[in-house]
Each structure stands twice: as structure tokens, then as C-alpha cells.
């Protein structure tokens, strides 16, 4: 089989069917749901009373190997709707019957290998013998059709590749990803936590995590001021009528929390900041000479996510957007988008991300506004990307309800793509809120509105940073940049003086003068991923020096304390 993406998807889809066959042979009472190919492998959802155990996965894997060895042919055929329903009703496969009832086709497509038959449109490989290099990975809970009110199923995940080398490389990648898991590192480095008693999907930032967040926020604010933005702060709730005017209540209600009654009126906790920025814009009469006006806010918003979709910092229910809205004339639109793209790239590159996947998401089926505006907006986005020289793909129908957008996904050190940055053009909200400026002819004209986020949300971006750097942040981002370690009690006072001078010179430091072995102190500092360890003994004390040991090295370099301070300040200044 030729190695290409289409055949790989067929291979993975075929593996899901072989897994389902193995499960049915081992556990005939299990009911089948669905089993598609996915980006990195495949899964199948099963209705089984008892949980699948690791031992069960071993049994299923062995049975799959037997089926692969049999080299069964994947055969395609069709049944009428009535025949298909009767076939699965007779087998007690209620989930398949429900799927058929929701399909519009007169005839149903089936695939079989050996005695196993499944409802499926394909594609598949020709024979099961091509599925030698697979691995079952995990079991997770899944609701039927993603509905929390429906049956709870068990989802077995697996992966398969053309060759053993490809499979081994992927499994090694998974092991590295586990070691970089931001949830694990966040706990080990004391950065953040979640608490079920407070509610899932809500982040508690610890002192060290909050310190990193402050560094990110200060950098963000300073750069926005340099780039002509005005900083805002807006409330966390507002009257429901605002969200009705904006269209969010009609188009986005499933992601919004229920209204709360305040003085007999409905209020909403905000899911986004844009209507608030519009209200500030409208507090004054605006002239064409003032445009563009750029507002930016680190605004905390709240959106409903299904509990099964929550994932550490990557998907939460309360998060802070690095949000901004630009109001400009139509003739300024393209240049503003170009400037935003350049700003995005500057921010991402400063944090160490230099590879991206770029998409232009076009008009969805359910949208607001005029088609002519959508076409102008989409053209402006594409022209700006071309002007900057970024290669992009079209993502059909994935725009937001009020306009098309650019999505920039950053690639981390494991080559995984993360959605963070977005740029959206909006003609709809200015219309809905009657946003205007006075043009050269003293007539009111509607501006164009650009929504944009450079990092996306601070929570997700921080999670990506943790995994990208494996918790060993660049010096400028580290909550603790240096740790002073004395060898014996006789250097305690000198260690305190070194610590004080570091803090006076803007270096975030900790002091470890415990009566413990130096080796243990160094090991703890390394586990905490602190960039600089400054060891002080009698010689360092006599000479006003420190023995510098970096977290990535076993070597120590003795230098005057003043020289270390200059070195550290330079690396921090250069965002190293």
C-alpha cells in the first residue's frame, strides 16, 4: 500500500473495525457504537457494563493479532434501510439502529471481514493483514453522540502505522508528551491547581504560576502600548440585552451560562469582551481622523464546556483572553490586518514559537450580516497573509457567525499544533450596535471591526509553554531565576548578602541555607528547573564571587557576583 494520508486513514479506519471484531468475539454481550479514524489513530465506542481493564486491552490486542494473521478480506455491500434496521435489531445493536434512522440514504453501506459486519461507508484496506503495526493505548469515558444526558460508553483508543519504525517513533513521542504534560508539571512545579469542590474547569493560580503570568501580562501590556493600543478593563457581567443585540444569545447560547436575576432583570456572566469595548467606543463622537482606534484588554470570560471536554489548562470554563478590538475605515482594513499578523508573529517568536499552521476560515452555514461584507472581509484576510508572506489553507465554513477569520496554530517542540492566535473581521457587530464615525463629508459611516487575540487565552498559552519547554522556561519567564546555596553554615551571612543583591538588581531569587548536603540542594533546584544555581563556599565568600551552575550543565564556573548579575540581566533583557 502506498504511503499517503488517504491510505493511512483507511488503515486506521480498518483497525477500528478489527478492534470491534475482537471485542465482540471476546465479549459478545457488548453493544457497538461508532469507530472512526482520527488524527493520530482510531477509536471505537462500546457499551459494556464492566469497565475495560488493562488485562482486557491485552486480550483484545492478542485477538486483533489473530484477526490480522487471518488476512481477512474487507468486503463492501449494501442493504436496504428496512433490511439494515432488521439486521441490527435482531442482533440487539440499538446504537446502529439509531444511526440508520438518522441517515437519509435509501440503502445502507456495510463492510464485513470474516463473520464481523458493521455499518460503514469506508474506506478500508483490502485485507486485515496490512494492520500488523498497531497498539491499543487507553480507555476513556464517552457519551453516546457527545450528549451528557445519553448513555455513558467506553472508548478504546489505538493507533496503527505502515511500519514498525513509524509506530515506535509515535510511541516514543507519546512517552515524551507524558513527561511534558502540563497537568503533571504544573503540580510538580507548584504553578496551578484545580479543585472539584470549587467546580471543574476553573484554574487556581499559585504564587509561582501567578508570577509567570505577571511577567507575560507586563510584556503584553508594554508591547500593546508601543503598538498604539489603549488598555481597557471591563465588568464580568452585563445585562442580557447586550448579548441579544450582539447576536451571541442567538448564535452562541449553548456556550453561555444561564442568566441571573438582578433587580428583576436578566444579567449574563460575559463569554467575550467585544460588546463592552463597543460601548466604550460609543461614549464619544468619533472622527475619521481618529481611526484606527485600538482597544486591548486581558479580559476574563466564562464559557460552558462539557465536563468530558475539559483538559487541564487547554480547555477550561473560565479564562483570560488577550483580547483586542480595532475600529478602522474600510480603506485601512488590509493594512491593519497586516500589522496584526506582524504583531502576532513578534509575540509568538518572543516566546520561542517559530513554526505555524495558518488557516483562513470562511463563512459558516449559520451566519449574520451581508454576503458582500463577508466577501470583502475574506479577501482582506487573504491579501494580508499574502503581503506578509505566510502560506495558508482555507478552512471552509469554520468562520464565526459574524465574520471570517485567520487562525494561527503554533507548533511546539514535539511538532504538535495548538490553536492560539486569531484575527477576525466583523461588519455585523458595528451594524447591530449602530457604531459610527464621522467621515470627511461630515456624514456618519460605519467602521469595520477587527477582533484579535495574539496568544488566545493566557491559560491555554501557559499550558502550551509548560509542555513546549518541559517546565524549564527561558530565564526571563522563570518564577525563580536563581537559587543561592551555601556549602556550610560559615557562608550563611554571605549567602544572604548575595541573595539580597540579586533581588535589588531585579533577579527573582530564592535562598537555601538549610543544614543539608549540597548535592541534595542542587538536585532539588534542578527538579524545580531553576536556571541558575549559585553555590557559595569559603573561597567565594573571600572573593565576593559565586560558583555558577546552570540547570542544563554539571559544570560550575566561578565568577565575581557583579559579573553574574550583569550576565543574568542581559539574558533576561534579551528574553533568553
Of 24, 213, 248, 303, catalytic: 303
Cell numbers given for 263: 433587580
> How far apart (Å, rounded) are the C-alpha atoms in residues 338 and 344?
10
Neighbour tally for 550: CB within 10 Å: 15
Of 45, 56, 118, 323, catalytic: 323
Residue 125's contacts (CB-CB under 8 Å, 6 or more residues apart) are 1, 7, 10, 11, 14, 74, 131
The three-state secondary structure class of 481 is: coil
Catalytic, 328? Answer: no
> How far apart (Å, rounded) are the C-alpha atoms in residues 384 and 327?
17
Of 182, 213, 274, 483, catalytic: 274
Q: Let me know the angle formed at the C-alpha of 507 by 456 and 215, rounded to the nearest 5 degrees.
A: 15
Backbone angles phi, psi at 162, to 5 degrees: -70, -35
| Residue in 568, 468, 553 with CA at minimum distance from that of residue 509 | 568
Of 451, 452, 460, 541, catalytic: 451
| Residue in 220, 205, 179 with CA at minimum distance from that of residue 529 | 179
Catalytic, 413? Answer: no
Neighbour tally for 273: CB within 10 Å: 22
Peptide bond into 278 cis (omega under 30): no
Neighbour tally for 504: CB within 10 Å: 9
Of 12, 155, 286, 325, catalytic: 325
As a three-state string, the secondary structure of 248-261 is HHHHCHHHCCCCEE
**How long is the chain?**
576
Catalytic, 120? Answer: no
Catalytic, 419? Answer: no
Of 21, 154, 321, 481, catalytic: 321
Of 17, 373, 405, 460, catalytic: 405
Catalytic, 86? Answer: no
> How far apart (Å, rounded) are the C-alpha atoms in residues 191 and 204?
9
| Residue in 221, 277, 317 with CA at minimum distance from that of residue 430 | 277
Catalytic residue numbers, as ranges: 274, 303, 321, 323, 325, 405, 451
Amino acid at each position: 500500500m502506498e504511503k499517503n494520508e488517504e491510505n493511512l486513514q483507511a488503515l486506521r479506519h480498518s483497525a477500528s473495525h478489527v478492534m470491534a471484531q475482537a471485542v465482540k468475539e471476546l465479549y459478545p454481550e457488548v453493544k457497538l457504537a461508532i469507530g472512526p479514524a482520527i488524527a493520530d489513530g482510531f477509536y471505537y465506542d462500546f457499551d459494556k457494563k464492566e469497565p475495560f481493564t488493562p488485562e482486557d486491552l491485552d486480550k483484545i490486542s492478542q485477538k486483533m493479532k489473530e484477526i490480522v494473521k487471518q488476512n481477512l478480506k474487507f468486503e463492501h455491500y449494501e442493504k436496504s434501510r428496512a433490511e439494515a434496521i432488521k439486521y441490527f435489531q435482531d442482533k440487539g445493536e440499538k446504537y446502529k439502529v439509531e444511526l440508520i434512522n438518522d441517515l437519509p440514504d435509501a440503502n445502507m453501506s456495510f463492510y464485513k471481514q470474516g463473520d464481523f459486519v458493521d455499518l460503514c461507508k469506508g474506506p478500508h484496506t483490502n485485507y486485515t493483514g496490512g494492520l500488523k503495526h498497531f497498539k491499543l493505548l487507553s480507555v476513556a469515558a464517552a457519551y453516546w453522540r457527545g450528549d451528557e444526558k445519553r448513555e455513558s460508553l467506553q472508548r478504546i483508543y489505538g493507533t496503527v502505522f505502515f511500519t514498525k519504525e513509524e509506530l515506535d517513533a509515535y510511541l516514543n513521542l507519546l512517552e515524551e508528551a507524558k513527561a511534558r504534560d502540563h497537568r503533571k508539571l504544573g503540580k510538580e512545579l507548584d504553578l496551578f491547581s484545580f479543585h472539584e469542590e470549587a467546580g471543574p474547569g476553573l484554574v487556581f493560580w499559585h504564587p509561582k504560576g501567578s508570577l509567570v503570568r505577571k511577567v507575560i501580562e507586563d510584556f503584553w501590556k508594554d508591547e500593546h502600548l508601543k503598538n498604539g493600543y489603549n488598555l481597557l478593563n471591563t465588568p464580568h457581567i452585563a445585562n442580557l440585552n447586550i448579548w441579544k443585540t450582539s447576536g451571541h444569545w442567538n448564535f452562541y447560547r449553548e456556550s453561555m451560562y444561564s442568566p441571573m436575576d438582578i433587580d428583576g432583570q436578566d444579567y449574563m456572566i460575559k463569554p467575550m469582551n467585544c460588546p463592552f469595548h463597543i460601548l466604550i467606543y460609543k461614549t464619544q463622537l468619533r472622527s475619521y481622523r481618529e481611526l484606527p482606534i485600538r482597544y486591548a484588554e486581558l479580559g476574563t470570560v466564562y464559557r460552558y464546556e462539557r465536563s468530558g471536554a475539559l483538559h487541564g489548562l487547554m480547555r477550561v470554563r473560565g479564562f483570560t483572553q488577550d483580547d483586542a478590538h480595532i475600529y478602522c475605515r474600510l480603506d485601512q482594513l488590509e493594512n491593519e490586518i497586516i500589522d496584526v499578523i506582524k504583531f502576532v508573529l513578534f509575540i509568538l517568536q518572543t516566546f520561542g514559537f517559530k513554526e505555524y499552521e495558518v488557516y483562513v476560515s470562511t463563512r459558516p452555514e449559520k451566519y449574520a450580516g451581508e454576503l458582500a461584507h463577508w466577501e470583502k472581509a475574506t479577501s482582506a484576510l487573504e491579501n494580508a497573509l499574502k503581503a506578509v508572506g505566510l502560506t495558508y489553507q482555507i478552512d471552509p465554513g469554520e468562520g464565526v457567525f459574524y465574520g471570517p477569520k485567520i487562525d494561527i496554530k503554533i507548533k511546539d517542540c514535539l511538532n504538535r499544533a495548538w490553536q492560539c492566535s486569531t484575527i477576525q473581521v466583523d461588519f455585523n457587530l458595528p451594524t447591530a450596535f449602530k457604531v459610527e464615525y464621522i467621515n470627511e463629508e461630515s456624514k456618519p459611516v460605519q467602521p469595520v471591526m477587527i477582533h484579535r487575540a495574539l496568544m488566545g487565552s493566557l491559560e491555554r498559552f501557559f499550558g502550551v509553554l509548560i509542555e513546549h519547554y518541559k517546565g524549564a522556561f527561558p530565564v526571563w519567564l522563570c518564577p525563580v531565576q536563581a537559587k543561592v546555596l551555601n556549602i556550610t553554615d560559615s557562608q550563611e551571612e554571605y549567602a544572604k548578602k548575595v541573595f539580597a543583591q540579586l533581588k535589588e538588581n531585579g533577579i527573582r531569587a530564592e535562598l537555601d541555607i538549610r543544614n543539608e548536603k549540597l548535592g541534595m540542594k542542587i538536585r532539588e533546584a534542578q527538579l524545580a528547573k531553576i536556571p541558575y544555581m549559585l553555590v557559595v563556599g569559603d573561597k567565594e565568600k573571600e572573593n565576593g564571587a559565586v560558583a555558577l551552575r546552570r540547570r542544563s550543565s554539571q559544570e560550575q564556573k566561578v565568577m565575581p557576583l557583579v559579573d553574574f548579575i550583569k550576565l543574568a540581566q542581559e539574558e533576561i533583557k534579551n528574553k533568553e
